[in-house]
Structure 1
Amino acid sequence: MEGVIECNPHKEVRTAGKLKPAAKATQLSKEEGLELEALFVAGDANQDGVLTFSEFREILRTADSTVSHQIALRMFRETLCFMPDGGDSISPFAFATVAHAHGIKAPPAVVFNLLKKTWLQIQDDINPEKMKDDEQKHDAEELKDAIEETLKSQADPALGVQNFRKFVLTFCGGKGESQGPPSAEEGADDESE
C-alpha cells in the first residue's frame, strides 16, 4: 500500500511518527525555508543537486531520529510529487516545504551535525588532479580550513554550507580540470531526486 501515494504533500503532516491532517501545519517562513534548504545542501554529498533516497534518509535521520524508514520513503515520494513536472527530481524548496509540513526542523546544530557527517564522507572523493598547481592547492587548503573552523565554532551554518558546496564542486569528483562551482543563479536552479 505504501507504493500507492497521493501526490498532495499538504494533505498530511507527521507528528510522533504518525500522520495527521495538515490543517494544523504552520506556514513555512522565509527563515525556516532557508534553514531547511541549507540542510538539503549539507546532505547532498556530491553537490549534484540530486538527493538519493540514502542522502534524503540521512538528512531526516539527523534532523529527527524518530522518522521511520516508511515515513522517510513516503516523504521522499511526496517531495517528488510536489515538483511541477510530477517529479524525477527534488528542488531544495520542495524539500523544505515537505520537510516543514512534516515537522522537520533545521536549527544550526542539526545543520552542523549533518555537515560534519557529509564532510567526513566526501574525504575519499577529493581529487588530487584538481589541485595540481600551487594556486589550486592553496585554494583547497583555505576552503578546507574554513570548513573545519566553521564546524568547530558552529558560528555560521550558511557560510559552512556555502564553503562545503564550493569545495566539493571544485575539488571532488571526476578526473580532469576543475569546472569550479556554479554561479549563484545556477545553484538556485539545482534540483534533486
Structure 2
Amino acid sequence: MQRCDWVNSDPLYINYHDHEWGIPLYDDQKLFEMLNLEGAQAGLSWYTILKKRENYRQAFDGFDPSKVIHYDERKIAELLLNPGIIRNKRKIQAVIDNAHAYHRVVEEFGSFRTYIWGFVDDKPIMNHFSSSEDVPSSTALSLRMSKDLKKRGFKFVGPTICYAYMQAIGMVNDHLTTCFCYPSSTC
C-alpha cells in the first residue's frame, strides 16, 4: 500500500496519515486543538508534536477553550515544567491567547467551524500533486487566513502553519496522486 512519502514506519504516524490528515474536520474543539498543535510545531517536525499529542491533551484540559481561557501565571509555570509538551513560554501563552480569540470568533460567527471553513466556502480543495516537492508550504489562501487570524488575536498562525493546518483538517487534500488515499477525502 503506497502512502504519501512523508509518512515514516511508526504506526502512530501511519494511523494519522490514513485516518486524519486531509479528512475534513468540523468539530470546533478539535479544530481548536489542531490549530494549537500546528502552532506548537513551529520550528519542529509534526512527528515530534504527534508523539506528544496525548500529553498536550492532558496538559491543556483536552483543548477545551472554556477551560484554557482561565489559565493564569501559576498554570503557565506548571506547564513550563511539563516534560510531555514543548516547554516554550511563547507557545504556551499562544494557546491561552488563542482561547480568548476563539471565543470572540464563536461569538461573532456562531461557531469556529463556520469561521474557519468559510475560507474555502465549506468545500475542501483537492490538489493533484505527484511529488511532495510540488506541495507548497503556503499559498495565497493560507496567507489570507494567517492575516485574518492574527488580526483577531491568534498567535503562531503564520502562512506556513495555516497551510499545514488546512492540510491537517482537510480544508486542503494534498495526498499525493500515488497515495492510496488519493483522490478520496477518506482512506
User: TM-score, normalized by length of structure 1?
Assistant: 0.26
CA radius of gyration, larger in: 1
Higher relative contact order (CA 8 A, sep 6+): 2
User: TM-score, normalized by length of structure 2?
Assistant: 0.27
